[in-house]
Structure 1
């Protein structure tokens, strides 16, 4: 019997079955984090773009969560300053994926399948993920959280994104309002795309812990926002990068607190 979306949400909001290892991107001279399952060959990988002024450490819980479900995550720690380059961060996301594919991780016990690559990001990092996806035909899925506009414009780059897209919008976001950002990107998306709005989420609700940037940016870390977004991203990437169709109900159906507010394609079936 098919499981309901709310049951899958409960399952995927909890840590997965894999023990998790943490490393860094120093081996290529790039600051940043890598989280992987303890072992596994032919794994999917996702490169994650941080938000404006946010260090990758503010998303460690999300990285650890995805890795516990069998997904390698690489998060460059570049361009974290106020004048960081969106174009160069997008390039670094692609480089991080190159490393995941080209280097055996975890003392050789972990490898990544070059046909199972995704991108994700928060705030401007979400916009940078769109920029990177538009120039990389290896990418199979893209997910953003409270995506912000970038230069060059993510909404223009979205016209070249034919892979499935998931954009989580924060309903209480006063930095990147959903209609002006996530929905604008989604309406330009070339492939199947969906916007889900978390009505109580703020712009920084997806980030973890405290950081001095909270003095400049509206919002703060929100456990409920992080719980739902972790489950949704996990389901989205498991479906589209590994073909695990059992999680399709959570990808395709409304759930309380994260209703679908824009659907650019009636069929978000697996592309893996």
Structure 2
């Protein structure tokens, strides 16, 4: 009797769950989706092509140095790159003296190895970039891994930097409640269309490139994005080179194994 009741109870709950699932799926498929300003006016990042793209892509050191300059002069006031060490800049083409000079301008809080006292000192090549102490509202994200932390990260960063604009009149007409509030800035490449960060790249000549490249907003955005692709994966080129060597080795080992198989077992198949 107890077994019968257990089976009936199990069947009852199975039927209820199946009914709930079918009803929910039907409702989701037939009910119209409520349109919001975010769904209508959000834009996917525009494609961005960098020298490091593709299986055979390589970083352009000159571009990375320009991007680092944009980061230093524009972004570093709010955003840190705390996972990058000063000595890593050697991969960008900076020499030892230049790296020491860059590190020496930073203030690092560290323990004195002689006294054990924690105090501020000038940075050294072995130190990582110190976290930025932001005095405004909110917590600006660290940019070390930003191009890995966002889907289609490089295109996202580039589109966001170049996408600031006035709210479209059509948006205000359809969704008057979505008007950008005080202290916010409209950007269609940001999920909710409004963000607290003002446009960091404000116009041509904001940065003076030492190599003479014209510093347009598009150029600065592309360069700093390339730099952030490097901070997120500085070993990108080495990883690809290692991968090619391993693929070549596996192909060679496969061919060698097949030839050995044919040589050893060819006269034994008939037995």
TM over 0.5: no
- TM normalised by structure 2 equals 0.22
Structure 1 or 2: larger helix share?
Answer: 2
Structure with the bigger RCO (C-alpha within 8 Å, sep 6+) is 2
- TM normalised by structure 1 equals 0.22
